[in-house]
Structures are given as C-alpha cells and as structure tokens.
Amino acid sequence: MSSVAIGLFAGLLLALVAAVGGFSMFLLALVLAGVGVLVGLVVDGKVDLTAMVTGRGRG
C-alpha cells in the first residue's frame, strides 16, 4: 500500500473519530496514532530505542 493511501486512510479515520467522539477523542486518536507510528518505525528498524531501554549496567 502506498504512503498516499495510508495517509488518506489515517485522515479519514481521524475525521470519523472527531465527528463521533468530539475533540477529546480526536486528541486521544492523534496520540495513539503517534504511538503506532513509533512502533512501526521500530519494527521497520528505522528507529533504535535500545539506548533508552537498556539504561546503565549494574556495578
């Protein structure tokens, strides 16, 4: 699926959420979409979060 089609689908979905749930649900949908994008980038290997996850070693 092309990036344009994915963007169109995401925009339509957010518009539906805004129409049905109001502004607070729209903001929640935007936050969850951002988390989904981050997870997708990690799965694709474009973002590396190992430094944030591992932290400092013991002793």
Q: 11-49: per-residue pLDDT in tens?
A: 888 889 889 999 988 888 888 888 888 888 888 888 888
Threshold 0.75, pTM exceeds: no
Contact present, 17 and 26 (Cβ < 8 Å): yes
Spans of all domains in the chain: 3-54
Task: Enter the tokens of residue 52.
Answer: 């944030």
Contact 18, 26 (CB under 8 A): yes
Mean pLDDT of 2-16: 83
**Segment holding 14, helix H or strand E:** helix 3-21
